[in-house]
Structure 1
Amino acid sequence: MKPTFSLIKGSVPLLISMPHNGQEIPAEIKNNMTPKALKVEDTDWYKDKLYDFANAMGAYIIVPTYSRYVIDLNRDPKGIDLYPGANSTELCPTTAFDLSPLYQEGMAPTEKEIKYRIETYWQPYHQALGNTLDEIKAQFGQAVLLEAHSILSTVPRFFDGQLPDFNFGTAQGESCASALLAQVESLDYSPYSQVTNGRFKGGYITRAFGQPEQNIHALQLELSQRTYLNEQTFEYAPELAEQVKPKLKQLVATLIEFAQQTK
């Protein structure tokens, strides 16, 4: 089997995680899925391309190989709902964002299969996250984790109307220092809209690894795909991406500066 993730080492105390960037599905799982599922339409498309400047700035970057349809790396392995009362997808999703089935009838993953996927895909990614953050903290005194996500601007299953462009989540302020969030919120995102702890408050990774009292700070950015993507075809739109990239670059620079200067 291919490696389940790739980790690019950096030289500054920032780790960027892209847990929904993977697109591959193992053959044995493909055989049980619907044709529509194999298009992996709910991917956080092109996050690695959108942040292609980050490693040159010194950031560590971790990206999975496999699709969130195999297992969602940003969900609690015990199946605990991140947003009680809201419609959400499972650890091993059985429906797409549009509620269409991902598996052929009777082929959804069993408890045994889910356990296997946790051990095979989920645990290695999270072990690497933890080890890398510990390594960064040991070298620099603290670490910052940026959870880099994106989503269609309109997904009725999860939110009404059109999503703001930059959606930051800090588990209601618990996953990073207030000083870091203040710096992030003070940046100029115009002409894009920005909100903090709105519909998206940070997923499992942000909540599990963000421990500001231990000098490990985490925040999630859910970027509206309309800022860099043709949302009808899922094609990368260079003319749009080149406009939003400077905003992402200033965000990454701010996170690095905070991590290097504040302990």
Structure 2
Amino acid sequence: MKQTKLPVLISVPHGGTEIPAKLRPRCLITDLDVVLDGDTWTKHLFNFQGLAVEYQVMDISRLVVDLNRDPMDRPPDNPDGVVKTRTVEGLPVWSEELTELEANDIIRTYYEPYHEQLMEKSNNPAVKFAVDCHTMLDVGPVKGSDEWETRPLFCISNRGLPNGEQGGETITAPPEFMQKLKVLLENVFAEEADEKVPLVAVNQPFQGGYITRSHGLRTDIPWVQLEINRRLYVPEAIAIDPTPQELARMKDIRDKLYEVFSLAAQEEIVFSEEEILSEEAKTIS
């Protein structure tokens, strides 16, 4: 049975594993570590090609260009900025550091076109909301602390509070929509529930990154960041490429996400009068 295209924009910014040929000789990271440093296998997990009216994925590795960073967030101030000098585990990425000219060329070649295409696709009148798709490690550091915590199975973010309401900055999706999306995820993925951690958390441990913040302020549709816990689909003994069984598992998750997004899009999504973005905020780039 042919599935109807979702009235949704799907963004997959960290699924790429390619290192540009001219940079490959200087890359110190193994192919497997490239897979692990990005959002592992998300080109499979979030493959909504032909299933969503707008779909965008990056083929280049996050180690080369991080589309979810401010373009001015760069080394040496931040080795995990828009271009990288260190992996998430602190390993050096390049045998010879990128020059400023090389960093600018990477941003011009890969970063800017991705964001320009997102803007164009978000203006498609058929799109009701956008989802920036990511994955997260099962255990990670508590923000602002030296402690570590086991993370929820799903985290949805709109730059707001744990109930989806606006906090210290403008939210990118209405709180009512966030709660609706939370309930839908809980219902559709009920069999994955684990008493040790929440099935779905809102704005915890992540509030949303640069993509949702910047595009949420410049477009009229809701933007949500989605994080899926990797323990739902990544085995302990991982290879560069997924096995047929692992591909089937990811397809099952994607099919359930299709159901969630389809149900979420069935009702009109609007910001309340208090949440309508000011014209000044919309001009922020």
Whether TM-score is above 0.5 comes out as: yes
Deviations 1:29-67 (A, max 9, x none): 112221437741212122232234x44544421011211
**Aligned mates of 2:26, 2:74 — CA distance in 1:** 25
**Aligned mates of 1:181, 1:88 — CA distance in 2:** 32
**RMSD of aligned alpha carbons:** 2.8
Q: Which residue of 2 aligns with 1:200?
A: 206
Is the alpha carbon distance of 1:26 and 1:57 closer, same or farther for their aligned partners in structure 2, counting shifts above 3 Å? closer
Report how far residue 182 of structure 1 moved: 1.7
CA contact (8 A) 1:97 1:155 kept: no
Moved over 4 A (4+): 155-159
- What is the one-letter code of the residue matched to 2:41? Y
Partner of 1:66, secondary structure, is coil
Rg (Cα) greater in structure: 2
CA contact (8 A) 2:177 2:269 kept: no
Mapping 1:19-168, distance limit 5 Å: 19-36=13-30, 39-40=33-34, 41-52=36-47, 54-79=48-73, 89-104=80-95, 107-134=96-123, 136=124, 139-140=125-126, 143-155=128-140, 160-168=148-156
- Whether 1:227 and 2:239 are equivalent positions in the alignment is no
The two structures have a TM-score, normalised by structure 2, of: 0.74
Report how far residue 155 of structure 1 moved: 4.3
Please, which runs of 5 or more residues in structure 2 have no aligned partner?
Answer: 165-170, 194-198, 271-285
Task: Give aligned-pair identity as a percent.
Answer: 27
Please, which runs of 5 or more residues in structure 1 have no aligned partner?
Answer: 1-9, 82-86
* 70-79 or 37-46, which deviates more: 37-46
Partner of 1:21, secondary structure, is coil
**Aligned mates of 2:64, 2:32 — CA distance in 1:** 11
Is the alpha carbon distance of 1:122 and 1:157 closer, same or farther for their aligned partners in structure 2, counting shifts above 3 Å? farther
**Aligned mates of 2:79, 2:155 — CA distance in 1:** 17
**Aligned mates of 1:108, 1:246 — CA distance in 2:** 42
Is the alpha carbon distance of 1:239 and 1:126 closer, same or farther for their aligned partners in structure 2, counting shifts above 3 Å? closer
**Aligned mates of 1:251, 1:12 — CA distance in 2:** 10
Partner of 1:150, secondary structure, is strand
Is the alpha carbon distance of 1:56 and 1:255 closer, same or farther for their aligned partners in structure 2, counting shifts above 3 Å? farther
Is the alpha carbon distance of 1:252 and 1:12 closer, same or farther for their aligned partners in structure 2, counting shifts above 3 Å? closer
Partner of 2:139, secondary structure, is coil
- Whether 1:185 and 2:185 are equivalent positions in the alignment is no
Partner of 2:181, secondary structure, is helix
Q: Which residue of 1 aligns with 2:9?
A: 15
Equivalent residues, number: 239
